[in-house]
Amino acid sequence: MDAALKALAEPRRREILRLVWMRELPATDIADHFGEVTRSAISQHLAVLKTAGLVTERRDGTRRLYRADRNEMKKLRKFLDEYWTSGLERLRDVAEAAQRDKEKR
């Protein structure tokens, strides 16, 4: 999970995931979307996303095609949902305990 969260901390990587969410794209098309960023930098971003398990890579001749790994994204979503829910439950418990203490006074 840590690698995925770190990978998503970078805005360009989140944009890359949006680009490859619905369809597979070659690295060149992804790079073309970011006019101000070098192809080398985009390749590095793709490598980070791939290492984190957030995208898959398929070779078609000399082209590399990328697609979001939806199964891995579902796992990440589940982790975040559980993390958020447990945090809210702890906050609720603290607030309720504080309210009970206040009512006792």
Select the more confidently predicted residue: 92 or 50: 50
Confidence of residue 85 (pLDDT cuts 50, 70, 90): confident
Is the full-model pTM beyond 0.85?
Answer: no
Measured CA distances, 98 to 69, 87, 88, 89, 104 (Å): 43, 17, 15, 14, 10
In the CATH hierarchy, which top-level class contains the domain 2-104?
Answer: mainly alpha
**pLDDT reported for residue 87:** 67
Positions of E strands within 1-105: 25-26, 55-60, 63-68
**pLDDT reported for residue 18:** 95
Q: Per this entry, what is the length of the chain?
A: 105
**Residue where the block lists tokens 């975040």:** 80
The Cα 39–Cα 93 span in angstroms is 50
Confidence of residue 88 (pLDDT cuts 50, 70, 90): low
